[in-house]
Amino acid sequence: MKNLESMEQFTTLKNDGKHIFLFSADWCGDCRVIEPILPGIEAAYADYSFVHIDRDKFIDLCVENDVFGIPSFIAYDNGKELGRFVSKDRKTEQEIKDFIESL
């Protein structure tokens, strides 16, 4: 999973192709719990490019996207938001897969 490096990169990615953005932070325990399952999820859903967004580095982006809890996921396809799985609750592997399959 690549890491977001700038607001401009977010805008470019969001508007070009199919991407799932994962909002997370180093200190987030629930984020660490799902970390080991993410490579398998990325491999299973190769139609999407997965991008990690560090909540602490991009707090303004979180506010703009109404992401007030982490870990959270937002999916885009060529600028159109396909769906979001945004909450402060811990996510299971099945919940994440169900979210992606519902897009």
Average pLDDT on 83-90 reads 90
* Residue 54 pLDDT greater than 90, yes or no: yes
State yes or no: is 28 an active-site residue.
yes
> What confidence tens digit (pLDDT) does each residue in 24-44 have?
999 999 999 999 999 999 999
Q: Which of 28, 34, 67, 86 is catalytic?
A: 28
- The set of residues, in sequence order, having a beta carbon less than 8 Å from that of 37 and lying 6+ positions away, is 93, 96
Nearest to 75 by CA among 100, 58, 47: 100
Banded model confidence at residue 89, pLDDT cuts 50, 70, 90: confident
Mean pLDDT, rounded, for 51-66: 96
Q: Which residue matches tokens 């945004």?
A: 86
Tell me whether residue 77 is exposed, middle or buried, using C-beta atoms within 10 angstroms of its C-beta: 0 to 12, 13 to 18, 19 or more: middle
Which pTM does this prediction carry? 0.95
87 has a pLDDT exceeding 90: no
Is 31 assigned a catalytic role? yes
Task: Considering the candidates 4, 22, 31, 61, report the single residue annotated as catalytic.
Answer: 31
